[in-house]
Amino acid sequence: MLTLNRLVAEGNAEGILEYAREFHGHVCPYLALGIRASLIAMEELGVGRLDHSSSVDESLLAIVEINSCFTDGVQVATGCTLGNNSLIYLDLGKTALTLVKRSTWEGVRVYADAERLRKYYPPGTTELFNRVVRERKGSAEERKRLWELWEEVAKAMLHLPRDEFKIKRVRVPPIEQAPIVESVRCAKCGELVMETRAVHVNGEPLCLRCAGEAYLAVVGRGIVEIERRGC
């Protein structure tokens, strides 16, 4: 099996989608859309997928504006992931990717309009999706049919014409690289926590949970504040 870097260099969208299937768990239109948007952005910016050295240096940044299947397609295609600190999530709810070179802060923003893409869906697909996924009421047969349709639509998304996207050159304000910080041990639960996420109570370090402080989390609807609670 060809490496992802090789597939991206060759523009082999179908091959990338197979990797994305394993990463994401299934194939769907917006997973493929993330791949297509990424390939367009990389071509416009004149860059390839992150390799070993560039991922360590965080030389390429992917800024996504939605936490959906689209974002997994971006992570697979660009190599910019949450874990290697090259993926930035803006909680804007838009199907958009901005790919940026850290050396110059020049970037390309690629936006996809969901309404314009509905013409690529076979009749009845949206209704079936609503029943199976949104309402979670579909039968086994309906689920099977939806996955078949999803594969069909996903393959269409891989080859969308460029004029289906809004493509814009941008310049991004500098974004700091991920800092390397020390850890401290929570005086209550005994677990290590990044010192930047610890609070001190009566001179002792506590993690946010043990301190009863609120903290942020990314869930299905975006970034939310988790209520205060103790360990």
Site of tokens 């390839």: 48
**The CA-based dihedral angle spanning residues 163, 166, 167, 173, taken in that order and rounded to the nearest 10 degrees:** 180
The pLDDT of residue 178 is 86
- The crossing angle, in degrees rounded to 10, of helices 140-157 and 13-24 is 140
Q: How confident is the model at residue 52 (pLDDT cuts 50, 70, 90)?
A: low
The pLDDT of residue 224 is 94
Does position 55 have pLDDT exceeding 60, yes or no? no
**The CA-based dihedral angle spanning residues 13, 17, 19, 23, taken in that order and rounded to the nearest 10 degrees:** 140
Does position 64 have pLDDT exceeding 80, yes or no? yes
The pLDDT of residue 45 is 95
The pLDDT of residue 228 is 73
Structure tokens at 64: 């996504």
The pLDDT of residue 118 is 92
The pLDDT of residue 53 is 60
Determine the average pLDDT of the residues in 182-205.
Answer: 96
What pTM, to 2 d.p., does this model score?
Answer: 0.91
Does position 215 have pLDDT exceeding 60, yes or no? yes
Q: Report whether 208 contacts 215 (CB < 8 A).
A: yes
3-class SS of residue 7: helix
The pLDDT of residue 185 is 98
Q: In 3-state terms, the chain is what percent helix, strand and coil (to 5)?
A: 40, 25, 35
Alpha-carbon distance of 79 to 41, in angstroms, equals 13
Q: Which secondary structure element, helix H or strand E, spans residue 229, and what is its range? A: none
The pLDDT of residue 89 is 97
3-class SS of residue 120: helix
Instruction: Look at residues 68, 90, 7, 75 and name the one whose alpha carbon lies nearest to residue 38.
Output: 75
At residue 42, what is the residue type?
M
Structure tokens at 43: 């071509």
Question: What would the pLDDT profile of 82-99 be if each residue is shown by its tens digit?
Answer: 999 999 999 999 999 999
Question: What would the pLDDT profile of 130-140 be if each residue is shown by its tens digit?
Answer: 999 999 888 99
| Percent of the chain residues topping a pLDDT of 90 | 86
Q: Report whether 37 contacts 110 (CB < 8 A).
A: yes
Question: What would the pLDDT profile of 16-35 be if each residue is shown by its tens digit?
Answer: 999 999 999 999 999 999 99
Residue 200's Cβ-side half-sphere holds a number of Cα atoms within 13 Å equal to 6
Q: How confident is the model at residue 69 (pLDDT cuts 50, 70, 90)?
A: very high
Does position 230 have pLDDT exceeding 90, yes or no? no
Determine the average pLDDT of the residues in 165-177.
Answer: 95
